[in-house]
A and B are shown apart, each in its own frame.
Chain A
């Protein structure tokens, strides 16, 4: 009975409640994270594992394919930020205005791509960007009197296909984030701006934009993470992890290729560690921008 009372006390109960988190944290975060670091200093063979110091990292720096992957992921991240922050924000402002009817319908439709598995959407987009005459992209070029084009076999157009897929999937989601951000803005601010005779553009620039900052930074962060660690979109668009001249290869794609397909876990973990460092630098930059550390000082 004594043991039971102990578990039921108000001092012990919170620890019982958080116990699953502590276990999950230890097994599926701390341990794999440490292992990712240690493995990155190892050469992991089928029979024996050797410590190789920084050999994986020095090899990585000279690895041309890795550099292609980094360039692709960075480019992809950059363009998704350019496309998937300003436009969804403007769409949200428009959606929030009084000149749009049937808002619920449009919101639901624009969210639909996020519900669709990448296996399905990737397949559909591969068909649309196919090199045959029947692909939608080639139908467009033919309509302008231009010939067909091998969209998924050239660097720039491969990236375009990835970006079109990204825009298709995330425009609606990001728009919803901004709509909820707009809802949290006090409407009296707009009334005050009206009294001062502010134009709609001025209201957007001096009221909406600054007050949307927390939302913008949130969307920015998740977009940076999603952009840098993009893999499945490329995997599905090229029906596998290899694309001509690696035009669709991403950092995570390379990690997958090395770790799973070529079973070179040590080298793959070095790729992962580089990704982690880049992601953390960007994340801390956003926290500083957001003033998170400042708030704690107050």
Chain B
């Protein structure tokens, strides 16, 4: 940006017009993209019955807005207790699955990258192969498997199937391939064992990859629907999306909680995104640059 400013070109009238048009284009596009969530946010300050009657009206009249939905949501009543139970479940599942996925995928990628061994290429091909089959095909047999293991309606059942995420292993591997192998030999000469090296020497060097993948895993886990919908049966185990989904009745009697709860449910992931934006973009585009 700064460099462009110094060029003579950037002060010509035609460039100024182009800048206004170019920036204006993204301003309008962003406004369109924001609309549904913004309208939802406005609706969360109006009674749920209004949502049925008036839809997502873009009504900025402050006098008709109330905090009632949020007061009710945080009010400690039956609905409020249920909602925060789901919220807590989502936080637990997200936390555990991010932590375990990162550790497991890091060590798998470490094994695949830092050593030379017989099955290395074969195993890496298998990692890639798992990416070629849509999850939905494995879903039903996996569901029966989880029942057979007695893991139905448990957090373990929700988390366990996704711990070895191929894309996470792939990203860690890409990242670690850039590290000098001398680090390992130097540490070995100092008498460090293989596992100590992987934790104490290499892991700190891979921190940015942990950040990128951690956020992507958290987003996926926080918003996961299909698999938790199959595994979790009891309302007291539901995650937030599954719980909110049960509020979608044709009668609309729950819309007070639904709309305020939805908006409050977006919050954690938005905050994380705004803080770690840079890492997310690095992580998600890792596969797209190398062909």
Contact = CB atoms under 8 A, between A and B. Distances in A.
Contacts of B139: 255, 259, 272
A204 B117 CA distance: 45
A136 B54 CA distance: 10
B203 interface: no
A219 B287 CA distance: 10
A99 B33 contact: no
Interface string B139-151: 1111111000000
Interface residues of B, number: 94
Contacts, number: 266
Contact of B164 (A21, A35, A97, A279): A21
A203 B235 CA distance: 57
A18 B230 contact: no
Contacts of A113: 33, 37
A94 interface: yes
B182 interface: no
B284 A173 contact: yes
Contacts of A31: 141, 145
Contacts of B194: 8-10, 13
A180 B285 contact: yes
A100 B37 contact: no
A244 to B, nearest CB: 14
A239 B290 CA distance: 39
Grouping DSSP codes into helix (H, G, I), strand (E, B) and loop, the A interface class, with mixed when no group exceeds half, is helix
Interface stretch (A56-64, A74-82, A101-109, A152-160): A101-109
Given A25-B130, A98-B4, A11 B57 contact: no
Q: Which of A111, A120, A130 has the most CB of B within 10 A?
A: A120
Interface in B158-172: 160-161, 163-164, 169
B204 interface: no
B40 A124 contact: yes
Interface in B189-204: 193-195, 198
Given A115-B273, A265-B140, A168 B195 contact: no
Contact of A118 (B57, B110, B225): B225
Nearest to A132: B55
A294 B241 CA distance: 44
A142 interface: no
Nearest to A128: B56
Among B120, B140, B245, B284: residue with most chain A CB under 10 A: B140
Contact of B138 (A15, A29, A176, A183): A29
B37 A112 contact: yes
A136 B59 CA distance: 12
A252 B55 contact: no
Give the residue among A25, A95, A123, A213 with the most B Cβ atoms within 10 A.
A123
B281 A176 contact: yes
Given A8-B193, A21-B108, A134-B53, A29 B288 contact: no
A129 B241 CA distance: 21
A268 interface: yes
B22 interface: yes
A15 B111 contact: yes
Chain A interface size band reads 35 or more
Nearest to B130: A29
A3 interface: no
A288 to B, nearest CB: 13
Given A117-B265, A180-B289, A127 B140 contact: no
B223 interface: yes
B137 interface: yes
Interface of B: 1, 4, 10, 15, 18-19, 21-23, 25-27, 29-30, 33-34, 36-37, 39-40, 51, 53-57, 104, 107-108, 110-112, 114-115, 117, 119-120, 123, 126-127, 130, 132-145, 160-161, 163-164, 169, 193-195, 198, 219, 222-223, 225-226, 230, 240-241, 244-245, 248, 250, 258, 262, 265-266, 269-270, 273-274, 277, 280-281, 284-285, 287-291
24 contacts: A8-B195, A14-B114, A16-B195, A20-B108, A20-B163, A21-B108, A21-B127, A21-B169, A32-B141, A35-B141, A36-B137, A39-B140, A100-B23, A111-B280, A112-B33, A115-B223, A117-B266, A124-B36, A215-B289, A217-B291, A252-B136, A255-B136, A260-B230, A273-B137
Interface of A: 8-11, 13-18, 20-22, 24-25, 27-29, 31-33, 35-36, 39, 91, 94-95, 97-102, 104-121, 123-125, 127-128, 130, 132, 134-136, 168, 171-173, 176-177, 179-181, 183-184, 213-215, 217-219, 225, 228-229, 231-232, 236, 239, 252, 255, 259-260, 265, 268-269, 272-273, 275-276, 279-280, 283, 290, 292
